[in-house]
Amino acid sequence: MLNFILRRLLGMIPILLIITIIAFLFVHLTPGDPIRIMYGAEIDQETYQQMRESEGFNDPLIVQYGRYMYNMTIQGDFGQSYRTRSDVSDEVLRRFNYTFVLTILSMFWAILIGVTVGIISATKRNSLVDRVGMISTITALSIPEFWFGLMMMQVFAVQLGWFPTSGSGTWIHLILPSLTLGFGVAATIVRFTRSSVLEVLREDYVRTARAKGQKESVVIWSHVLRNALIPVVTMAGLQFGFLIGGAVVVEQVFAWPGLGSYLIDGILTRDYPVIQALILLFSLQFLIINLLVDISYGFLNPQIRYE
Amino acid sequence: MTMTKNVLDIKDLTINFKSEGKELSVVDGISFSIKAGETLGVVGESGCGKSVTSLSIMGLIPSPPGRVANGTIEFEGKNLLDFKEKEMRKVRGNEISMIFQEPMTSLNPVFTIGKQINEVLLLHNEMNKSAARNRSIEMLKLVGIPRPEQIYHNYPYQLSGGMRQRVMIAIGLACQPKLLIADEPTTALDVTIQAQILNLMRDLKEKTDTSIMFITHDLGVVAEMCDRVVVMYSGQVVEETDVDTLFNDPKHPYTLGLLGSIPKATEKIDRLYSIRGQVPQAGTVERGCRFADRCDKVMPRCYTEDPPLLKMKEGHQCRCWLYAEEEGGAEIDS
């Protein structure tokens, strides 16, 4: 098991290396000049050239990439934001907590709502509950997050006044954004859980459990669910990646000071170090979640052994 | 012969299934009984209603689309069809248990063997976990599983089909049921393993005095295992008799056909006999004998009137017009 985790962690290194190249090329080849964007026409040609020189923009890309990699891996320096002149790593670490809490709570909602509604839908197949559930998931999947966020804000914050409209500070601030973010994922999990449970319900061992005289609730929540969850976990893991992307939008809507707004500001001002660091971080997150999903298989499915 | 009381008594059982808006009688007015300590064979082709009948005894007919439309299932004098779900749960796995055709898929893949035997023990007995564990290991030993302490911690995928069927039998017998329903328990197994499982079931029956309802389509297995036999065709009982009479003096053309389809080691023949045609879909024959279209001895009467169950001799009944006059068979029901 430990061996497996270690091997998987080592396997991440080449992947991350490739991602640094892609991220580097992506930011440097995108049209737009960070110095022009920041200072506009205020500076004359001479100062402009000086600044380009001091930032190293005039060097060949390969040299710039080498310098970037050297600073990051040997010095542990992710660079400074062009805009704020502060260390990218400090800022990322500070904001990471916000995004982390937001995505974890969203995932919690998504799994809680998704698995529960999915099971109810499957066991009460073709009933009114099932139909309402299925229509709701289609709706939730079709609604763009920013609009859904604004509607949540309008109803629960402005009209009813139960929650603050935006900002951060307390747990209450977290409720609306996390629900907004979790809803789309919940819808996907509902559909997945439903079809998975329906499939497992047809299995012979479910009939065996009933023939033992087991209660229907135990049959569903223990015998069926343990088996039905295996594909759901895979999908939920992939959805986590989607959640990271969704967080960028939702953070913007609710003025949540996480990485999302940092990334958007970074892209708008061509803040190369910020964009590169965040792409790398999101990729790393995705890889780690996939690893966690693979590890969780071992607990769900006894046939999987980590050799 | 001493009078033994019936463990199970099924009367006029009719089970309907809804299909495309129409209700079809998959099981149509069957009656039979099982005595204490007896093994009753229920024989018939796929789709004749054997499995549905067994599931109805357990109260496990998927409903909808299925429902018991008529009749009674009396177990030790009480009609199981009157039982509420909660009462029925106390019967299942405890007083009546069931083993299935597919040992490969009948055990839950994510739980250990031990946990799956413990489950039924803990459900129906006042015992703690360690007592259940001891009893489970004892059961594994009883069904001839080697290294039971180790197998207790194994998962189903680590066991072969024969071993899994032994585990299913262990689960089935763990609470010492009065009736064990075995729905084609050896059909999915290799011939050598089949023989082992049949021997095991016979041994255990002698030890525990459990009645067995043995569902099969294999007459060889019937000869091996059963005391009495019910032959089912298209949802009806067509012949009921003891096992000796079945092989020595079968009456119904369908039973004759089944027996004729068994290859004999002592004869060399070019082509094995088979019953022509196919089983009619349940509920599609509206009038007359359901076997008429496939019968070698069909008479005009067979197409117009439903044959009643006729008494051939004590304990031998047959549903066929052939015996209506000549044998002077008395009509038992219609």
Contact status, residue B36 vs residue B95, Cβ threshold 8 Å:
no
| pLDDT at site B1 | 43
- A203, A210, A213 ranked by CB distance to B124: nearest: A213
Contact status, residue B316 vs residue B240, Cβ threshold 8 Å:
yes
- Give the residue on B whose Cα is nearest the Cα of A227: B110
CA distance B260 to B268: 14
Cβ pair A227:B106 closer than 8 A: no
Cβ pair A213:B119 closer than 8 A: no
Architecture of domain A94-300: Orthogonal Bundle (1.10)
- A227, A300, A303 ranked by CB distance to B157: nearest: A303
**B176 in contact with A, Cβ within 8 Å:** no
Contact residues for B213 (Cβ-Cβ < 8 A; gap 6+)? B8, B34, B39, B40, B42, B54, B57, B179, B180, B181, B182
The residue ranges of every structural domain in chain A are 2-73, 94-300
Cβ pair B155:A203 closer than 8 A: no
CA distance A6 to B14: 63
CB contacts under 8 A, A 282-301 vs B, are 300-301
Count interface pairs A-B at CB distance under 8 A: 69
- Give the residue on B whose Cα is nearest the Cα of A124: B64
- Taking every pair of Cα atoms in chain B, the longest distance, rounded to a whole number of angstroms, is 67
**A129 in contact with B, Cβ within 8 Å:** no
The residue among B61, B84, B81 whose CA lies nearest residue B71 is: B81
Cβ pair B109:A303 closer than 8 A: yes
**B95 in contact with A, Cβ within 8 Å:** no
Q: Nearest-CA distance from B123 to chain A in Å?
A: 7
Cβ pair A209:B89 closer than 8 A: no
Contact status, residue B92 vs residue A242, Cβ threshold 8 Å:
no
- What superfamily does domain B6-95+175-333 belong to in CATH? P-loop containing nucleotide triphosphate hydrolases (3.40.50.300)
| pLDDT at site B282 | 66
| pLDDT at site A140 | 84
DSSP string computed for B54-121: HHHHHT---TTTEEEEEEEEEETTEEGGG--HHHHHHHBTTTEEEE-S-HHHHS-TTS-HHHHHHHHH
- Give the residue on A whose Cα is nearest the Cα of B90: A213
**A238 in contact with B, Cβ within 8 Å:** no
- A203, A214, A302 ranked by CB distance to B105: nearest: A203
Q: Nearest-CA distance from A4 to chain B in Å?
A: 22
Tell me if the bond preceding B65 is cis, omega within 30° of 0.
yes
Q: How far is CA B178 from CA A47, A99, B170, in A?
A: 98, 62, 14
The residue among B324, B258, B328, B252 whose CA lies nearest residue B292 is: B252
The residue ranges of every structural domain in chain B are 6-95+175-333, 105-174
Q: From chain B, pick out residues whose CB is under 8 angstroms from the CB of A207.
A: 60, 100, 106
Q: From chain B, pick out residues whose CB is under 8 angstroms from the CB of A223.
A: 108, 111
Beta bridge partners of B237: B232
pTM, two decimal places: 0.81
| pLDDT at site B21 | 79
Cβ pair B157:A302 closer than 8 A: yes
**B90 in contact with A, Cβ within 8 Å:** yes
Q: From chain B, pick out residues whose CB is under 8 angstroms from the CB of A301.
A: 109-110
Q: Which residues of chain B have a pLDDT value below 50? A: 1-2, 327-329, 334
CA B146 to chain centre: 29
pLDDT tens, residue by residue, A88-98: 888 888 888 88
- Give the residue on B whose Cα is nearest the Cα of A303: B157
| pLDDT at site B330 | 54
Q: From chain A, pick out residues whose CB is under 8 angstroms from the CB of B93.
A: 211-214
Contact status, residue A64 vs residue A201, Cβ threshold 8 Å:
no
Beta bridge partners of B73: B10
Q: Which of A125, A212, A220 to mutate to test the interface with B (most CBs of B within 10 A)?
A: A212
Q: CA geometry: angle at A126 spanning A121 and A129, to 5°?
A: 50
Segment (H or E) for B216: strand B211-216
Q: From chain A, pick out residues whose CB is under 8 angstroms from the CB of B94.
A: 213
Q: Nearest-CA distance from A292 to chain B in Å?
A: 19
Q: Nearest-CA distance from B167 to chain A in Å?
A: 12
Cβ pair B60:A300 closer than 8 A: no
| pLDDT at site B334 | 43
CA distance B319 to B236: 9
Cβ pair B92:A211 closer than 8 A: yes
Q: From chain B, pick out residues whose CB is under 8 angstroms from the CB of A126.
A: none
- B106, B112, B124 ranked by CB distance to A204: nearest: B106
Segment (H or E) for B26: strand B22-35
Cβ pair B108:A215 closer than 8 A: no
Residue B307's SS3 state is coil
Cβ pair A213:B157 closer than 8 A: no
**B44 in contact with A, Cβ within 8 Å:** no
| pLDDT at site B133 | 92
Q: How far is CA B270 from CA B73, B260, B263, B267, B291, in A?
A: 46, 14, 11, 10, 26
DSSP annotation of A219 reads: I
| pLDDT at site B283 | 66
CA distance A221 to A243: 27
| pLDDT at site A44 | 80
Q: Which residues of chain A have a pLDDT value below 70? A: 306-307
What's the order of all strands across the beta sheet hosting B6-19?
Answer: B22-35, B6-19, B66-75, B78-79
CA end-to-end distance (rounded Å), chain A? 7
Residue B228's SS3 state is strand
- Give the residue on B whose Cα is nearest the Cα of A302: B110
CA distance B264 to B266: 5
* Residue-averaged pLDDT of chain A: 86
| pLDDT at site A307 | 60
Handedness of CA A116, A122, A123, A124 (dihedral sign): positive
In this structure, the number of other CB atoms found within 10 A of the CB of residue B15 comes to 25
Tell me if the bond preceding B64 is cis, omega within 30° of 0.
yes
Cβ pair B108:A208 closer than 8 A: yes
pLDDT tens, residue by residue, B290-327: 888 888 888 888 888 888 888 888 888 888 888 876 54
- Taking every pair of Cα atoms in chain A, the longest distance, rounded to a whole number of angstroms, is 86
